[in-house]
Amino acid sequence: MPRMPRTTRVISPFPLPRDSVSPNSAVSPGLPPSTKSFVCFNCATRKTRCDKERPTCGACQQRQLTCVYEDATAIGSRKRKATEDANGRLERFERILAQHGLITEKVNQPESRPVTAVDSSTIDRLNAASAETAASTGRLIVDESNSRYINSTLWREAKDHGLGEIVEEEVFGAAADSSGSTAAFSPASLSSGILGSKESLLEYHPSATDATRLWKIYAQNVEPLYKFLHTPSAQNLVAITCQDLSHATPANECLLFAIYLLAVFSMNEDACLAEFGQARSLLLSRYDYCVRQALFNASWLSVSHMSTLLAFAMYLSVMRRQADTRSLWIWTGMATRIMQRMGIHRDGEGMGLHRFDVELRRRLYWHLVSLDTYAGRISGTSDTGPPKTWDTKLPLNIDDDQIHPNMTEAPRVRASATDMMFSLVRIKLRTLLAVESPNAQGCGPANPAWDAAEKIIDSVENEIESEFLRYCDPVEPVHALTLMTARAAIAAARLRQRMPLVAHQTPGRESERREFYGLSRRIMDAESQSFTNPVIKPFGWYLRASFRWDALICLLVALAQPNFFAPEECEGGWKRINEFFTHHAEVLEARSILQRTVGRMTLTAWLANPPPYQGLEPEYIMTLRELHADSVVVAPSRLDEVMMGF
């Protein structure tokens, strides 16, 4: 039987008013008018502009679609009917569940009815609440076809207060925010871990001798700070696999290359040449590719294997300062979702998991949470931490030799310095990020918000001092780094707490401003000494990646005010700036939003208030002049626009 052609029934249009039809009208008697009083169905669905021409509107004619005019009231009635049917089914299901005791039956629920009128005072209150909510949750920056949502205290107000140009450059700029040594060494290339083809990596594995060297470097430089591996188990894996690569599963291969990458990342150029006879950039590029390819070979997005997630977390740890901040936040979000899929966000102790697995899952959880919070903060997208429903406990304060895969009893927590000490201190310091600075008008001990924040800082400081720092031996590298990191973070929290006092230049508060910048100088001194301290030299890679920018920015803003410092203090301030650029020459590359901001602020301070006993102009100032020759260098009017305390 031949198939009948499909016909479309066109709804007749509404008749035009009598006075709208003239005797000379082009519309013949008895024919419908040339335009409709409502848009066609296709334009209404696609939400595009409709010229309402008959029999086919311009949009449908261009797309070669069948133009159908249908009264919107009929569509609305169908939507209402569907909603009413759904509500009826929902109520019926609720009654059945309540009869079987599966849910609590609703009691005295008022019958829903349409709202007929709202008084003006209610409207005013709703508008005020809506405005307050919008202001407190973030803001949207729009430029032509691009948009970016900002919901981080680091960047939320910068658009409106002096740093709008820099923020827009970060939001809409095409330049990659990367300080890596090669173009391939960036998270943008991680797309090959999603879109690619499986390839063998046997030829990329280092020799047994080099693999052993890389593990020793990792164990010395990285393992004491990033405790998401069980050191004895990882060491055994490297020892077995480097002798016979057939023992390497795809998941373990990911983990091995991640270890090699982090080991090279922790080395400087001279060490790479001395140990392996190759440039650091070549080794980084090699193992960066190997990690990405190994992840794809292991189908890392679809499997729920601990080793693949560990490898991805280690890779992101390398990218912490190498990455475009926007890309990094997306990748840490993917790691967090994989972690949720594996149930690591729920503590395994009450789920019957093996004690060894419970401890390793806790370590990985807190590392990923810290990394994701950091990525959201510097990208300007979010300040928030994990949801309150996530209940994974802190790792235990123990040494690695206290746990093993065959353990049956819980290890005894030690009240002393352990292998987990540095990681636990970092986790506890995250509490300080929740301390909100009061506004300028409410600063001081008389303000309840100020007092509450000070109590939180004091509590965290006392807890860390009593549980960890009291057991530290400054001669031990990890202990020395723990002492420096903890005390610098506490000082940075107090610095942020006092920020509004100086940011708004409140008169009559000279002593508070002096205290504010005294804290910043203390942090700068500690950071500078860490680079010259031979005890913590193996952790120089970590110090460069975790520098506290808030102290530097505070000092630069102070130096930009000619009458703020005495001549001797001004000279001391510029001495600290010189030391900073000595240890952080990568800032002069101006590849990231943060580096560009610091460069502009340094040049602004130099032009406004150079050292009183100035000799030759430093080389970094000459470089900054060249970098910012085409831009107007203006000091920001408020400190809290650019505070970068991590």
| C-alpha–C-alpha distance, residues 21 and 26, integer Å | 9
Q: Beta partners for 592?
A: none
Choice among 253-257, 510-514, 585-589 with the minimum mean pLDDT: 510-514
Question: Mind listing the pLDDT tens digit for each residue in 231-270?
Answer: 999 999 999 998 888 888 999 999 999 999 999 999 999 9
Mean pLDDT of 521-540: 88
Phi, psi (rounded to 5 degrees) for 613:
-110, 50
CA 586 to chain centre: 22
Closest C-alpha among 215, 203, 227, 205 to residue 262 = 215
Q: Which two tokens stand for residue 548?
A: 């506290």
CB atoms within 10 A of CB 603: 22
| C-alpha–C-alpha distance, residues 445 and 583, integer Å | 37
Secondary structure (3-state) at 642: coil
The pLDDT of residue 203 is: 92
DSSP string, 581-614: HHH-GGGGG--SHHHHHHHHHHHHHHHHS--TT-
pLDDT at 198 over 70: yes
Choice among 86-95, 240-249, 453-462, 557-566 with the minimum mean pLDDT: 86-95
Question: Mind listing the pLDDT tens digit for each residue in 280-307?
Answer: 999 999 999 999 999 999 988 888 899 9
Number of residues that make up the chain: 646
Q: Which two tokens stand for residue 96?
A: 């059945």
Question: Mind listing the pLDDT tens digit for each residue in 82-136?
Answer: 444 555 666 665 666 565 554 554 444 434 333 333 344 433 433 444 344 444 4
Where is pLDDT greater, at 464 or 27?
Answer: 464
Closest C-alpha among 443, 196, 424, 399 to residue 297 = 196
CA angle 453, 458, 464 (to 5 degrees): 130
The pLDDT of residue 100 is: 53
3-state secondary structure 360-417: HHHHHHHHHHHHHHHHHHHHCCCCCCCCCCCCCCCCCCCCHHHCCCCCCCCCCCCCCC
Q: Are 599 and 592 in contact (CB under 8 A)?
A: no
The pLDDT of residue 447 is: 61
Q: Cis omega before residue 55 (within 30°)? A: yes
Q: Are 42 and 59 in contact (CB under 8 A)?
A: yes
Mean pLDDT of 521-542: 88
| C-alpha–C-alpha distance, residues 466 and 63, integer Å | 72
The pLDDT of residue 355 is: 92
| C-alpha–C-alpha distance, residues 339 and 285, integer Å | 27
Mean pLDDT of the chain: 75
* Statement: the pTM of the whole predicted model exceeds 0.95: no
Q: Which two tokens stand for residue 645?
A: 């305390």
pLDDT at 73 over 70: no
Closest C-alpha among 366, 376, 319, 321 to residue 345 = 366
The pLDDT of residue 232 is: 93
Question: Mind listing the pLDDT tens digit for each residue in 383-430?
Answer: 567 888 899 999 999 999 999 999 988 899 988 999 999 999 999 988
Question: Mind listing the pLDDT tens digit for each residue in 608-624?
Answer: 889 987 778 899 999 99
Q: Specify the DSSP element, H or E, that contains 149.
A: strand 146-150
Question: Mind listing the pLDDT tens digit for each residue in 148-186?
Answer: 545 554 444 344 334 444 444 444 443 334 333 344 455
Question: Mind listing the pLDDT tens digit for each residue in 203-228?
Answer: 999 999 999 999 999 999 999 999 98
Contacts of 447 (CB under 8 A, 6+ apart): 438
The pLDDT of residue 539 is: 93
The pLDDT of residue 239 is: 93
Secondary structure (3-state) at 510: helix
The pLDDT of residue 306 is: 93
Contacts of 573 (CB under 8 A, 6+ apart): 521, 555, 558, 559, 565
| 258 class by beta-carbon count within 10 Å (0-12 exposed, 13-18 middle, 19+ buried) | buried
Closest C-alpha among 344, 275, 270 to residue 304 = 344
Torsion sign, CA atoms 522, 528, 532, 536: positive
Phi, psi (rounded to 5 degrees) for 57:
-75, 165
User: Which residue in this structure is represented by tokens 């970098």?
Assistant: 627
Where is pLDDT greater, at 555 or 239?
Answer: 239
Closest C-alpha among 314, 316, 335, 313 to residue 324 = 316
Confidence of residue 17 (pLDDT cuts 50, 70, 90): very low
The pLDDT of residue 105 is: 47
Angle between helix axes 421-429 and 448-467 (nearest 10 degrees) is 180
Q: Are 298 and 251 in contact (CB under 8 A)?
A: yes
Secondary structure (3-state) at 58: helix
Q: Beta partners for 143?
A: 146
| Torsion angle, alpha carbons of 196, 199, 204, 207, to 10 | 140
